[in-house]
Chains A and B, each alone.
Chain A
């Protein structure tokens, strides 16, 4: 164990190595580590944010769905109401039309009845005159008794 210039050599070597390590080894590695740490932290924060946004989006989706359902229900309700109205209107129209047709038919029936009645009345007068003429053998003058017979026919 004897000391010699190795001591000086080792001291210089040591200083040079520490200088090199401090200059070219330590900083790049520490930078890379720090940067990665930051990146991971950022990534985690982004993930957290994403999760939060997903929850919000789900809530919004549920809200929209609920509104759509409500709207659909309302539309269906309105449509139902409208349909009922249309049916009602149709019913009223049909009834009115039916009444109109019935009235028209009744009027025509009355007309025809009257016409037939007039015809019959005329024929009855003729037949009565003919009958009475045969019975009375010319005693009944068509001109004189015509008035009486017409009155009779009107009573029929």
Chain B
């Protein structure tokens, strides 16, 4: 942002780069030292043991915000006179509870809080997308931060970080409820007859593995694309008065449409989690 030679591609690239903290690789000027990567390539070169500080900060911050607000309502939850905020929280909680009751047939005290956390947390993270793309990174650049992505769900690390625990929960409950044999049988003796079990295993295995992938990539893809469009619209502001005005209208329209997308994606993620856990908990296939 701060550089004078600001081109369209560098602008886009800049906006899609996380603020990554890690160890500089061999061949770098600061090889062996720990620090913030200055570009996407540098971040990639840092390998696995680097961390996207911006994603983590916003993710944790929004999660804490969600838990604090809901805890406040839970602490003061009164039976007789629910206040405004408590009403709102109760409305969401009842909505989640209905969804869980509708999709989850078993009895598991984990599923509903899990669904609530996922829904509200993802919604809040998605909501960051509606803040104009340049505002917070610009503020951060004033404080010397080179890169900042404020929408955690446009970082695949974050969406996989949500989908993988769900996947492990699915495995855990599948084995706990059906037993190892039952779970294996579900994978091996379906949909074709038993003697074709290698084919079955392959098909069902792919299905199983595809679940966390599609689960997390759906959220990531939608939000990444949405963010991308916001960035492209933001580019128009540099193109003179008329184009800037048109861009403003576009941004407004896309933002309004995006309200639907972010809510929908949060809801889809939550519902899929419930459905996967329900499938894992069901005795018969």
Known contacts A24-B74, A25-B71, A25-B74: A5-B79 contact under CB 8 Å: no
Closest residue of chain B to A31 (Cβ to Cβ) is B77
Task: Assess whether B204 is interfacial by the CB under 8 Å rule.
Answer: no
Q: Is residue A28 contacting chain B, with contact meaning CB distance below 8 A?
A: yes
**Chain A residues whose C-beta falls within 8 Å of the C-beta of B113 in the assembled complex:** 18, 21-22, 25-26
- Contact residue among B18, B55, B93 (Cβ-Cβ distance under 8 Å from A26): B93
Give min CB distance, A30 to chain B, whole Å.
7
Chain A: CB-nearest residue to B72 = A25
Interface size class, chain B: 35 or more
Taking a contact as CB atoms under 8 Å apart, the answer to whether A3 and B157 are in contact is yes
Q: How many residues of A contact B (CB 8 A)?
A: 32
Indicate if A143 sits at the interface (CB-CB under 8 A): no
Mask: chain A, 9-42; 1 = CB below 8 Å from B; 0 = not: 1110111011011101111111111011001000
Q: For B75, list chain A residues within 8 Å (CB).
A: 28
Asked if B46 is at the interface of the complex by the 8 Å CB criterion, the answer is yes
**A33 proximity list for chain B (CB < 8 A):** 90, 93-94
B59 touches A32 (CB 8 A): no
Contacts of B52 in A (CB 8 A): 4, 6
| A22 touching B48 in the complex, CB below 8 Å, given contacts A4-B22, A32-B78 | no
Is there contact, CB below 8 Å, between A30 and B97?
A: yes
B71/A13 in contact, CB under 8 A: no
B1 within 8 A of A: no
**Could you show 14 A-B contacts with beta carbons less than 8 Å apart?**
A4-B52, A5-B51, A6-B158, A9-B161, A10-B59, A13-B63, A17-B66, A18-B165, A21-B67, A21-B70, A21-B116, A22-B110, A26-B93, A26-B113
Beyond A11-B161, A32-B90, A33-B90, 17 additional contacts (C-beta under 8 Å) are A2-B43, A3-B48, A4-B22, A4-B51, A6-B158, A7-B164, A10-B55, A13-B161, A18-B165, A21-B116, A22-B109, A24-B74, A25-B67, A25-B71, A26-B116, A29-B74, A30-B93
Q: Which residues of B come within 8 Å of A, CB atoms?
A: 18, 20, 22, 43-44, 46-52, 55-56, 59-60, 63, 66-67, 70-71, 73-75, 77-80, 82, 89-90, 93-94, 97, 109-110, 112-114, 116-117, 121, 155-158, 160-162, 164-165
Which 9 residue pairs of A and B lie closest in terms of their CB atoms, listed nearest first?
A: A10-B161, A6-B157, A32-B77, A22-B113, A28-B74, A26-B113, A6-B52, A21-B113, A2-B44
